[in-house]
Structure 1
Amino acid sequence: MSLDNVKTHFQQWNREKDIMEFDTSSATVDLAAQAIGVAPARIAKTLSFRGEGEKAILVVAAGDAKIDNKKFREAFRLKPRMLNPDEVLEQTGHAIGGVCPFGLTNELDVFMDISLKRFETVFPACGSSNSAIELTCEEIVQYSFAKGWVNVCKGWEESPINENIILSNEVI
């Protein structure tokens, strides 16, 4: 099971107990933000792209960021082509809704988008559609064995961050 692989992955830092599991789905940015009680931008979404040959490239970006095709091509010298759900599962070992850069089935190149650097902590999924962990940017780089930071997203610079916590559709 994917969540178990992620828990095993985090054992090397004694962080497996920090994984949050929810009674509700956290499979999308909005659902994860609601389950955790943070702004959607603080959700660290993992996007899967075709890389060279058979190997995928993972880009972890802020929840409010969108891939900029031109920036992606400049950074990776590849056209940004996302994997389909079956390919994502095959490459990462995680199904859509729980994809993360931890406990991967294959050794993949992982990159962090600079859109994450705005936040003290972010919340990536943990291999299931109802899990997450709170990590600093330094921790997410370390724990994912990321190759480095990239600037391949757009939209987030203009997005105002509403730091009000939204719970049960009420702003507190």
Structure 2
Amino acid sequence: MSIENVRQYFKQFGLADRVVEHDHIGDTVAHAAQVLNCEERQIVKAMTFMVDDQPILIAMAGDAKVDNHKFKATFHSRAKMIPFDQVESLIGHIPGAVTPFAVNPGVKIYLDASLKRFKTVYTAGGSLNSTIKLSLGELEKYTKLTDWVDVGKGWFINE
């Protein structure tokens, strides 16, 4: 059902056809990059956390990892990931299919600075075998963005 919610979300912008279903599952960064024949770092990894008892989603590059010190400095809270079995109820998508679109009301969405080095990125499309190809500008425009953050590590701007 989540993929239909994502399609419906993009329909309002005339972009429902951007949600593409594939024959193979892309439930991890590595699997998605293989399905799309792109670099892992171009895959948008949607990380979900609880901050002050509220769910947040941070979209970051596939090669980035969360830096706990940066996270705490930004959110004034430890990085507490949402448990696997609670992701769907709190965010609106199943683990492996989380996208920064068509999330549950009240979920704050952040984009990490690790994404700024790309012209084109790929996000999950709401199911384990769907993706959405977007320019960075489109990602920012169509995400109900709370803010840009810099909480990633393990990536380099000049790669």
Fold shared per TM-score above 0.5? yes
Q: Does 1:11 align with 2:37?
A: no
User: Counterpart in 1 of 2:99?
Assistant: 100
1:35-83 CA deviation, whole Å, 9 max, x = no partner?
A: 1110000000100000222x21110000000000000001111100100
Structure holding more strand per residue: 2
Q: Does 1:26 align with 2:26?
A: yes
Q: Would you identify which runs of 4 or more consecutive aligned residues in structure 1 move more than 4 Å? A: none
Tell me if the contact between 2:43 and 2:61 (Cα under 8 Å) persists in the aligned partners.
yes
Let me know the Cα RMSD of the aligned residues. 1.3
Tell me if the contact between 1:49 and 1:57 (Cα under 8 Å) persists in the aligned partners.
yes
Tell me if the contact between 2:114 and 2:157 (Cα under 8 Å) persists in the aligned partners.
no
Quote how far apart the aligned CAs of 1:19 are: 1.1
CA distance in 2, matches of 1:124, 1:25: 13
Q: Which consecutive unaligned segments of at least 5 residues does structure 1 have?
A: 161-172
Query: CA 1:143–1:71 in 2, change beyond 3 Å: closer, same or farther?
Result: same
1:118-158 CA deviation, whole Å, 9 max, x = no partner?
A: 10010010111111111112211221111121100000118
CA distance in 2, matches of 1:67, 1:80: 8
CA distance in 2, matches of 1:105, 1:74: 26
Q: Which moved more, 1:128-137 or 1:56-65?
A: 128-137
User: Counterpart in 2 of 1:144?
Assistant: 143
CA distance in 1, matches of 2:144, 2:137: 11
Identity among equivalent positions (%) equals: 38
TM-score, normalisation: structure 2 = 0.96
TM-score, normalisation: structure 1 = 0.89
Quote how far apart the aligned CAs of 1:92 are: 1.4
Letter in 2 for 1:57: I
Q: Which consecutive unaligned segments of at least 5 residues does structure 2 have?
A: none
Q: Which moved more, 1:101-110 or 1:40-49?
A: 101-110
Kindly tell me the number of residue pairs found equivalent between the two proteins.
159
Give the 3-state SS of the residue equivalent to 1:147 in structure 2.
Answer: strand
Tell me if the contact between 2:117 and 2:157 (Cα under 8 Å) persists in the aligned partners.
no
Q: Does 1:115 align with 2:143?
A: no
Give the 3-state SS of the residue equivalent to 1:48 in structure 2.
Answer: strand
